[in-house]
């Protein structure tokens, strides 16, 4: 087994900025990236209510092999999240209860798996934010190796070390580190705009008008206009 650890230093987002990002729903982050950055619809938390806001460390592993994930736990810094490219394979888990306990011990902020996890009851009890495509009892093997801190493809998104992962009941969104500062201001502005829309709707305005949706054209009944 060969596991390559890339030397990939990245800029750490200041705690104050991370605290602001923690108030941004993944959906809003995707909106301000022109509806981009969202992982596939299968990506979901193992328990409703789990949230994630942390910078990513990455793992690429062969299908059903979790050896590199074990190795990655030994190089994580407190507050890092782990993004795992497990090939999108849903029939064998690469993450479960033992790894979750190790992740908690080293201060991991959460785990995102492009693949399957197991020991769901334990994961829900531990409270570590874990997002995956599937839950299955069949476990992994170890032997083929992989990579840590390289560029990966995870559930339809490119992730590089240091990119920001935002997760909630909707799923997971990836915010590129290079754009995080500018996007934070845009996301906060969008949240404020949405709050204003809600206020105006409660005052009697129509959402269709506020959203710029034109009124429907009155068409005659029958075949014409249908």
> How far apart, in whole angstroms, are the C-alpha atoms of residue 81 and residue 206?
41
What is the model's pLDDT at position 220? 87
> How far apart, in whole angstroms, are the C-alpha atoms of residue 69 and residue 51?
21
Specify binding-site residues for substrate.
Answer: 96-99, 118
pLDDT digits over 188-207, tens only? 999 999 999 999 999 999 99
Mean pLDDT score, 116-139 = 97
> How far apart, in whole angstroms, are the C-alpha atoms of residue 54 and residue 187?
16
> How far apart, in whole angstroms, are the C-alpha atoms of residue 196 and residue 17?
23
Specify binding-site residues for Mg(2+).
Answer: 119
CATH numbers and ranges of domains, the chain: 3-186 (3.50.30.40)
Whether 223 shows a pLDDT value over 70: the answer reads no
Decide: helix, strand or coil at residue 91.
coil
Closest by alpha carbon to 188, among 25, 38, 11? Answer: 25
């Amino acid at each position: 087994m060969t596991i390559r650890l890339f030397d990939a230093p990245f800029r750490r987002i200041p705690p104050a900025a991370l605290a602001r990002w923690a108030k941004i729903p993944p959906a809003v982050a995707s909106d301000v990236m022109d509806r981009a950055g969202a992982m596939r619809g299968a990506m979901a938390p193992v328990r409703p209510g789990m949230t994630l806001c942390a910078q990513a460390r990455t793992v690429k592993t062969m299908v059903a092999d979790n050896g590199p994930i074990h190795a990655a736990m030994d190089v994580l810094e407190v507050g890092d999240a782990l993004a795992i490219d497990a090939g999108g394979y849903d029939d064998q888990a690469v993450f479960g209860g033992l790894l979750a306990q190790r992740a908690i011990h080293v201060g991991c902020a959460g785990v995102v798996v492009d693949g399957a996890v197991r020991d769901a009851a334990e994961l829900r009890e531990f409270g570590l934010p874990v997002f995956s495509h599937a839950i299955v009892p069949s476990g992994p093997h170890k032997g083929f190796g992989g990579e840590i801190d390289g560029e990966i493809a995870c559930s339809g998104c490119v992730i590089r070390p240091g990119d920001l992962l935002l997760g909630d009941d909707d799923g997971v969104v990836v915010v590129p580190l290079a754009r995080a500062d500018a996007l934070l201001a845009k996301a906060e502005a969008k949240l404020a705009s949405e709050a204003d829309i809600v206020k105006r709707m409660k005052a009697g305005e129509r959402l269709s008008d506020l959203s710029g949706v034109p009124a429907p054209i009155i068409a005659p009944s029958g075949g014409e206009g249908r």
